[in-house]
């Protein structure tokens, strides 16, 4: 059995779109030509990869088993082509990084600066997202590296190493807020105030809820709910709403004297970042160089 690039690409596109017609348009092929290509691929594999229906195609168990390998093979081919292009002088080293908001805002710029200071000719593509989004992007090859707090639960993802970078999550407020003048705040002080919170399904909201429940108290209601961690910092800075954020997301505002952390020991949490990569395949030289620089910057 031989797995060919063209067949694998067609197989994955049909699997994603669920339709030969739509996949044929993407590949600039006729439907009959693409159908023949997939039938030849199935004969080569010795198994049926799709169940055919009048309105589309659905993966069989064998097809589902092939998907992660197909993605891995195509991912490695693309990275190999990029690396050879760099070595021949016909392209730039490309690094595709996924990160949670705090890392994207506070640490990644310094890691990229370190690469640029060494005159490395690179392009960096950044995906900011939640742990679940980053795990999916790693698994399908959209990114090479992910940096997140969460334990990314995906069989296609493995932890590279823990860094020495920790981030402290705290209750924060504007420096103009009345509570900012208190040396230490009680739970009554903060839980009785108005809040801007991430959505209930978001990890920061769940972590805060665990701390509040551990203290035997009830979560405050949200005056403002948002899907954006950066928006939490913006609302805190411009209003008298309290928020709960990792320091990496308000460090610039803290330095500018706009936001401060409140001393509420029961609601403080120290979290560590972890670096993840795809379990299969190899990192490009550019991605490996980025990993080394990120580790140095994070430890500083």
State whether residue 121 is helix, strand or coil: coil
pLDDT at 263: 95
Average pLDDT over residues 17-28: 88
What is the C-alpha to C-alpha distance for residues 211 and 11, in angstroms, rounded to an integer? 47
Residue 131: CB atoms within 10 A of its CB come to 20
Q: Which of 167, 169, 181 has the alpha carbon at shortest distance from 240? A: 181
Write the pLDDT tens digit of every residue in 152-190: 766 777 787 666 678 899 999 999 999 999 989 999 999
Could you tell me if 233 and 250 are in contact, meaning their C-beta atoms sit under 8 angstroms apart? yes
Average pLDDT over residues 134-150: 82
Highest mean pLDDT among 147-151, 229-233, 287-291: 229-233
What is the C-alpha to C-alpha distance for residues 14 and 21, in angstroms, rounded to an integer? 9
State whether residue 221 is helix, strand or coil: coil
Q: What number does CATH give the domain 74-165+273-299?
A: 3.40.190.10
Low-confidence winner among 8-17, 47-56, 102-111 (lowest mean pLDDT): 102-111
What is the C-alpha to C-alpha distance for residues 131 and 245, in angstroms, rounded to an integer? 16
- Nearest 5°: CA angle at 246, between 240 and 252? 70
Q: pTM (2 decimals)? A: 0.66
Which has more pLDDT, 103 or 257? 257
Percent of the chain clearing pLDDT 90 (strictly above): 32
CATH fold match for the domains 74-165+273-299 and 166-271: yes
Write the pLDDT tens digit of every residue in 76-109: 777 777 777 666 665 567 888 998 888 888 888 8
Is the domain 5-64 a CATH 1.10.10.10 member? yes
Q: Which of 149, 179, 171, 262 has the alpha carbon at shortest distance from 220? A: 171
Residue 207 in this model has a pLDDT that exceeds 80: yes
pLDDT at 5: 79
Q: Where are the domains of the chain?
A: 5-64, 74-165+273-299, 166-271
pLDDT at 284: 77
- Nearest 5°: CA angle at 186, between 256 and 225? 60
Residue 247: CB atoms within 10 A of its CB come to 17
pLDDT at 16: 87
Highest mean pLDDT among 30-34, 56-60, 212-216, 280-284: 212-216
Write the pLDDT tens digit of every residue in 226-243: 988 889 999 999 999 999
pLDDT at 228: 87
pLDDT at 153: 66
Low-confidence winner among 44-58, 122-136, 236-250 (lowest mean pLDDT): 122-136
Residue 125 in this model has a pLDDT that exceeds 80: yes
Q: In which element (H, E) is residue 176 found? A: none
pLDDT at 226: 94
pLDDT at 296: 79
3-state secondary structure 184-195: CCCHHHHHCCCE
Could you tell me if 29 and 66 are in contact, meaning their C-beta atoms sit under 8 angstroms apart? no
Is the domain 166-271 a CATH 3.40.50.1820 member? no
């Amino acid at each position: 059995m031989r797995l060919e690039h063209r067949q694998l690409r067609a197989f994955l596109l049909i699997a994603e779109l669920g339709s030969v017609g739509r996949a044929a348009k993407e590949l600039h092929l006729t439907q009959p030509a693409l159908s023949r290509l997939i039938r030849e691929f199935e004969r080569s594999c010795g198994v049926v990869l799709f169940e055919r229906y009048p309105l589309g195609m659905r993966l069989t168990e064998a097809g589902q088993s092939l998907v992660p390998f197909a993605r891995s093979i195509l991912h490695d081919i693309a990275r190999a082509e990029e690396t050879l292009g760099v070595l021949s002088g016909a392209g730039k080293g490309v690094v595709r990084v996924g990160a949670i908001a705090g890392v994207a805002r506070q640490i990644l710029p310094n890691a990229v600066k370190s690469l640029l200071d060494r005159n490395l000719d690179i392009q960096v593509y950044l995906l900011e997202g939640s742990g679940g989004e980053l795990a999916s992007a790693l698994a399908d090859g959209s990114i090479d590296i992910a940096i997140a707090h969460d334990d990314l639960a995906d069989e296609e993802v493995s932890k590279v190493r823990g860094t020495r970078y920790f981030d402290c999550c705290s209750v924060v407020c504007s420096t103009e807020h009345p509570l900012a003048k208190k040396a230490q705040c009680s739970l009554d002080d903060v839980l009785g105030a108005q809040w801007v919170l991430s959505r209930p399904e978001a990890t920061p909201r769940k972590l805060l809820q665990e701390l509040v429940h551990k203290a035997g108290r009830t979560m405050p209601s949200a005056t403002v709910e948002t899907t954006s961690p950066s928006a939490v910092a913006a609302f805190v800075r411009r209003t008298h709403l309290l928020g709960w954020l990792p320091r990496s997301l308000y460090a610039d505002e803290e330095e500018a004297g706009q936001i401060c952390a409140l001393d509420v020991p029961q609601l403080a949490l120290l979290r560590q970042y972890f670096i993840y990569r795809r379990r299969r395949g190899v990192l490009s030289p550019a991605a490996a160089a980025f990993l080394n620089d990120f580790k140095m910057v994070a430890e500083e």
